[in-house]
């Protein structure tokens, strides 16, 4: 590693996994941008969350100057409770982002020990050798920033998540002036969002969603329930606005929705007229046409409020004929199934359910191709570094940049990208894994544990226990058989009995002079049982032969 060169080292988010965490290095100083988590896919059995492995940072604790957060989404702030515990460095964020972080750290009893700095967009903050300018950009949560990172080794613009909505709900357009000024000064690298690089044109304005919601409320003859991300405060604002317009009260369902609304109101990001918000347990006190509910569960998450309503398992909301449910979000790839399941169940109970492509009740928070190009033309960097996407996104960005005569550099997590005017290149690779968190605390779940769970999940487990006399090798108890998830009720008796008979015969056939190698017998038994069960049942459960030498 060469000191004296500005470097970018993504620990998560270069291509997905563990999620967003970008480290910038100047001389011996390190600045971290974002600290996010990721939710597991269905193959990561029993895993609760994924976070980036920060061992690289822990090895240089003293040199880490702080963590800057671009916005308040989980994939950008969610790992803070896990990382700050090991790396208690100052954090920097705008008002709403900090409010959401505060709630999260308070839950983990970490807030009082945290050194936090409230910044505003437009601020230029010195953090060690880095000067960080916070530039307001539009996204699906208010108070999102792009960062202009100025160092003696040059300037980098780190976009974070963004889009260029020209008519945003809160009226705060992306600060193109500040971005253009940075571009005029000269920028080494644009480290840029890639999420929607495969989509042509512009993302339609949030205003479109407001119009669609208005149409829904206009038609609705009963209650209206709108599911969206709890962090999408502007969407909640739109629901509140349209509900007020139609004389409806608004109640919040779901813990994170309640909490975020409270934080957003307290900090001035959500404007609600007096008397509009009511508690969820009050909705039955009003006629249906005077009720709107904003709820969590837009991704079909099984424990979220909307799923509970769909399963007739919600304490305060029982879905009824005449209800209109708006799913104001697009399913994240892989969630389509669960969202549709929730939708079917809502329909079954008499609700009318409205999904995005049917009506424009959702737009993305990430800019499409034309917005990415606009960013590129504002910044005019020497190098483009696409991040925050899957591999194909980075490659599509590279091609798009190349057609605009820019050079794009694709990174993997852990790559050290050194940046100079003359050249830029990956000079080494540092540790950058993913920690699978399940159960309590920080212990990471390893591959071997996941492999075991996967094996158990496929065909269950088949356990054989027997006690033998150490001295003579005689069977003195068992064999007993215990199976879980492997043998069906109809076949269990026969399979268990036949196993017992075979194993008894086998053990009785062994020498009785105390010379038996029981470890070898165990291996034999596993092999024999594996073959036998495969033949009998077509399955290959995990087989555990347990021999107790008494």
Q: What are residue 369's phi and psi, to 5 degrees?
A: -50, -45
Considering only residues 482, 498, 508, 531, which one is a binding residue for a second copy as defined by CB under 8 A?
482
- The length of the chain, given as a count of residues: 550
Is residue 491 near a second copy by the rule CB under 8 A? yes
> CB 341 → a second copy: shortest distance, Å?
8
Active-site annotation holder among 193, 241, 415, 438: 193
Q: Which is nearer to a second copy, 87 or 456 (CB)?
A: 456
* Helices 176-185 & 369-379 angle (0-180, nearest 10): 50
Considering only residues 3, 336, 423, 508, which one is a binding residue for a second copy as defined by CB under 8 A?
336
- Stretch 156-195: interaction string toward a second copy, x if CB under 8 A: ----------------------------------------
- Stretch 25-44: interaction string toward a second copy, x if CB under 8 A: ----------------xx--
Active site residue 366: yes
Q: What's the rounded Cα separation, in Å, for the pair 420 and 71?
A: 28
Is residue 343 near a second copy by the rule CB under 8 A? yes
Active site residue 193: yes
Is residue 391 near a second copy by the rule CB under 8 A? yes
> CB 48 → a second copy: shortest distance, Å?
9
The two most distant CA atoms of the chain are separated, in Å, by: 91
Using CB under 8 A, which of the segments 118-126, 254-262, 333-341, 362-370 binds a second copy? Answer: 333-341
Instruction: Give CA separation, 275 vs 40, 126, 222, 223, 248, in Å.
Output: 40, 44, 20, 18, 10
Q: How many Cβ atoms sit within 10 Å of the Cβ of residue 531?
A: 11
* 456 close to 448: Cβ distance less than 8 angstroms: no
Is residue 477 near a second copy by the rule CB under 8 A? yes
Q: What's the rounded Cα separation, in Å, for the pair 207 and 519?
A: 70
- Stretch 252-281: interaction string toward a second copy, x if CB under 8 A: ------------------------------
Is residue 548 near a second copy by the rule CB under 8 A? yes
Instruction: Look at residue 177 and give its three-state secondary structure.
Output: helix
Is residue 457 near a second copy by the rule CB under 8 A? yes
Buried b (16+ CB within 10 A) or exposed e, 311-340: eeebebbebeeebbbbbbbbbeeebeebbe
> CB 144 → a second copy: shortest distance, Å?
25
Active-site annotation holder among 366, 388, 393, 496: 366
Is residue 485 near a second copy by the rule CB under 8 A? yes
Q: Which is nearer to a second copy, 448 or 520 (CB)?
A: 448
DSSP state of 163: B
- Stretch 399-438: interaction string toward a second copy, x if CB under 8 A: ---------------------------------------x
Q: What are residue 25's phi and psi, to 5 degrees?
A: -120, 135
Is residue 452 near a second copy by the rule CB under 8 A? yes
Q: What's the rounded Cα separation, in Å, for the pair 192 and 434?
A: 22
- Stretch 4-23: interaction string toward a second copy, x if CB under 8 A: -----------x--------
Considering only residues 137, 445, 516, 521, which one is a binding residue for a second copy as defined by CB under 8 A?
445
Structure tokens belonging to residue 19? 């999620």
Strand order in the sheet with 224-227: 277-278, 249-253, 291-295, 224-227, 324-327, 352-354
Is residue 532 near a second copy by the rule CB under 8 A? no
Beta strand extents in 459-540 (DSSP E only): 461-468, 475-484
Q: What's the rounded Cα separation, in Å, for the pair 308 and 454?
A: 28
Q: What's the rounded Cα separation, in Å, for the pair 243 and 223?
A: 11
Q: Which residues are catalytic?
A: 193, 366
List interacting residues with a second copy (CB under 8 A): 15, 41-42, 45-46, 198, 333-334, 336-337, 340, 343-345, 347-348, 353, 355, 358, 390-392, 395, 438-441, 443-446, 448-450, 452-461, 463, 465-467, 476-478, 480, 482, 484-491, 537-539, 542, 544, 546, 548-550
């Amino acid at each position: 590693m060469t000191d004296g060169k500005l470097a970018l080292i993504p620990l998560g988010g270069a291509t997905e996994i563990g999620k967003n965490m970008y480290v910038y290095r100047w001389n011996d100083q390190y600045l971290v941008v974002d600290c996010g988590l990721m939710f597991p896919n269905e193959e990561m059995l029993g895993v609760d969350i994924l976070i980036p492995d920060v061992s690289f940072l822990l090895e240089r604790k003293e040199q880490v100057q702080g963590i800057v957060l671009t916005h308040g989404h989980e994939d950008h702030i969610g790992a803070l409770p896990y990382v700050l515990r090991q790396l208690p460095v100052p954090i920097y964020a705008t008002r709403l982002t900090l409010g959401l972080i505060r709630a999260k750290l308070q839950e983990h009893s970490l807030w009082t020990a945290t050194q936090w700095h409230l910044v505003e967009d437009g601020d230029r903050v010195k953090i060690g050798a880095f000067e960080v300018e916070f530039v307001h950009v539009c996204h699906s949560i208010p108070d999102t920033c792009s960062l202009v990172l100025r160092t003696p080794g040059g300037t980098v613009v780190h976009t974070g998540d963004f889009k260029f909505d020209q008519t945003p709900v809160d009226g705060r357009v992306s600060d193109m002036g500040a971005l253009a000024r940075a571009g005029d000064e000269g920028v080494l690298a644009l480290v840029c969002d890639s999420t929607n690089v495969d989509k042509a044109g512009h993302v339609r304005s949030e205003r479109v969603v407001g119009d669609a919601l208005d149409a829904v409320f206009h038609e609705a003859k009963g209650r209206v329930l709108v599911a969206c991300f709890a962090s999408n405060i502007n969407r909640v604002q739109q629901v509140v606005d349209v509900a007020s317009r139609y004389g409806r009260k608004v109640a919040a369902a779901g813990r994170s929705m309640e909490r975020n609304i409270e934080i957003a109101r307290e900090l001035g990001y959500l404007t609600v007229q007096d008397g509009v918000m009511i508690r969820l347990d009050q909705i039955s006190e009003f006629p249906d046409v005077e009720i709107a509910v904003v709820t969590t569960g837009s991704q079909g998450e099984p424990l979220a409020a909307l799923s509970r309503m769909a399963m007739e398992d919600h304490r305060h909301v029982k879905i009824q004929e005449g209800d209109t449910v708006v799913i104001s979000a697009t399913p994240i790839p892989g969630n389509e199934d669960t969202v549709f399941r929730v939708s079917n169940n809502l329909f079954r109970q008499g609700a009318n359910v409205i999904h995005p492509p049917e009506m424009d009740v959702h737009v993305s928070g990430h800019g499409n191709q034309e917005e990415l190009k606009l960013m590129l033309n504002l910044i005019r960097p020497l190098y483009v570094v696409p991040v925050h996407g899957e591999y194909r996104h980075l490659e599509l960005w590279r091609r798009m940049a190349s057609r605009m005569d820019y050079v794009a550099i694709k990174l993997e997590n852990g790559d050290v990208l050194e940046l100079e005017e003359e050249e830029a290149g990956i000079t080494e690779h540092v540790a950058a894994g993913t920690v699978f968190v399940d159960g309590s605390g920080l212990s990471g779940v390893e591959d071997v544990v996941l492999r075991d769970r996967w094996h158990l999940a496929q065909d269950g487990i088949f356990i054989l226990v027997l006690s033998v006399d150490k001295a003579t090798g005689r069977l003195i108890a068992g064999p007993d058989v215990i199976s879980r998830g492997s043998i069906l009720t109809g076949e269990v008796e026969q399979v268990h009995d036949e196993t017992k008979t075979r194993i008894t015969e086998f053990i009785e056939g062994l020498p009785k002079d105390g010379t038996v190698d029981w470890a070898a017998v165990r291996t034999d038994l596993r092999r024999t049982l594996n073959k036998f069960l495969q033949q009998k049942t077509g399955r290959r459960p995990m087989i555990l032969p347990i021999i107790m030498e008494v």
